[in-house]
Amino acid sequence: MELVDRPMVQSSAADLAEELKSRSAADAAARLASFSGLEIAAVLLRLSPGFAQDVLGALPDEARERALAAAPPEVSRQWQRNALYEPDAIGRMMEPVLAAFSHQRTVGETIEQLREMVKSALITYVYVVDPAEYLLGIVTMRDLLFSDRDRLLSEVMFRDVFALHAAMPLTDAMKLVLDRHYPVYPVVDAERRLLGLVRGHGMFEAQAIEIILQAGSMVGVKKEERLATPWLTSLRLRHPWLQLNLLTAFLAAAVVGIFQDTIDRLVILALFLPVLAGQSGNTGCQALAVTLRGLTLGELKPGAERALVTKEAWLGCLNGAGVGLFAGLGMFITATGQESAHPVMLALVVFLAMIGSCIASGISGAMVPLTLKRLGFDPATASSIFLTTATDVVSMGMLLGLATMMVR
């Protein structure tokens, strides 16, 4: 790795890589575009493989070619190979294989060759392949060091090797590795040819980032936006979703307008509109968070959608009854203090409206991401905006509608 051994390049690359970690791939690419190929490659080598691949893909063609030409040959080949895979595939995160040896090589020959390799690279396992690069097995360092030096690798290797497929999505890969906790995993193609390696901590880091980014996606903040994103870019990314939110807010306002006569007659209801909207909104957000977590971690099995929606509906009913009891009591006390003619009926209206709106918000919290996924969209994309609209319309409509029917 002569590229990163040069002191000046190493120092500047480390500082720049640290700076770019807080940026989106597009911003990082724009920052690197004017640098030399040697400098770009040195920085990319210090980023996580998946993020480095995204930055490389976002670079202008000429800058990308400079970086590929300046990188070590095995790294350059790996980057070009990784670019063939989808953004969420394991293949985008691969590192070059540095310890792959023929099954006919002896233990002693392997150890001698590793003496130089371990000085510049972290090697955990020895991978045993045939002349066509098919993965045959692995050898742990313990077995390598304590085996007879004249034995062949094929005699000391583990043959039943767990490997990840390069085209596999990260979420599917995470399901397979959760109970294994290996430090590094071989990555193969459909015919089990060894293509690269992916480190366990890198997979967990990428998955953690994906979960963290959901919070922003739910309210229309794109995953590309970071703290260092220019304000004009942030405005362009956020503003369309705020316009959509304004449009949906008009729907809730229209519902209130339909019952204007009821509000004019029972002004006290206006005090409890935000109470219902807030409680039902929180109920929906709880259901939304659990559903998104299940989709991200792969916990939601095919055919389990109906059971999830049913569960959230029952939770909404029970939670709504609990908070509705106290909300109804609050309405009774308030109505009595204002000498309203119907304190008991108003309390009952609030109680029933709270139950109904929490049921509806629980169902909406589960249905919104499921529907977005079925339509082919990111389940987290602006899901909170759609959920807020549903909960506001239902909660306000239910309170005012029940009051119109029950309080004469």
User: Are 242 and 313 contained in the same domain?
Assistant: yes
Question: Is 220 inside any structural domain?
Answer: no
- Residue after which a domain boundary falls, among 213, 240, 264: 213
User: Are 367 and 244 contained in the same domain?
Assistant: yes
Question: Is 219 inside any structural domain?
Answer: no
Domain that holds residue 176: 100-213
User: Are 45 and 181 contained in the same domain?
Assistant: no
Q: Which residues of the chain have pLDDT under 50?
A: 1-8, 216-221
User: Are 256 and 385 contained in the same domain?
Assistant: yes
Strand, helix or coil for residue 382: coil
The confidence score (pLDDT) of residue 266 equals 83
Smallest Cα–Cα separation from 50: which of 268, 202, 184?
202
Please tell me the pTM assigned to this model. Answer: 0.55
Place of tokens 């002569």: 2
User: Are 262 and 329 contained in the same domain?
Assistant: yes
Question: Is 121 inside any structural domain?
Answer: yes
CA angle 201, 207, 211 (to 5 degrees): 140
The confidence score (pLDDT) of residue 318 equals 94
User: Are 209 and 124 contained in the same domain?
Assistant: yes
The confidence score (pLDDT) of residue 360 equals 92
Summarize pLDDT for 368-406 with one digit per residue, the tens.
888 888 887 777 666 777 788 888 888 888 888 888 888
Tally the domains of the chain.
3
Smallest Cα–Cα separation from 51: which of 6, 72, 74, 20?
20
Question: Is 221 inside any structural domain?
Answer: no
User: Are 196 and 239 contained in the same domain?
Assistant: no
**CATH code of residue 265:** 1.10.357.20
User: Are 300 and 383 contained in the same domain?
Assistant: yes
For 130-171, the DSSP string reads: -TT-BEEEEEEHHHHHHS-TTSBHHHHSBSS---EETTSBHH
User: Are 76 and 176 contained in the same domain?
Assistant: no
> Rounded CA gap, 294 and 374, in Å?
15
User: Are 138 and 196 contained in the same domain?
Assistant: yes
For 206-248, the DSSP string reads: HHHHHHHHHHHHTTT--TT--TTS-HHHHHHHHHHHHHHHHHH
Question: Is 280 inside any structural domain?
Answer: yes
User: Are 312 and 355 contained in the same domain?
Assistant: yes
Token pair for residue 114? 């590793």
Cβ burial, residue 345 (10 Å; 0-12/13-18/19+): middle
Token pair for residue 143? 């077995």
User: Are 283 and 336 contained in the same domain?
Assistant: yes
CA angle 303, 308, 314 (to 5 degrees): 145
Phi and psi at residue 141, to the nearest 5°: -60, -35
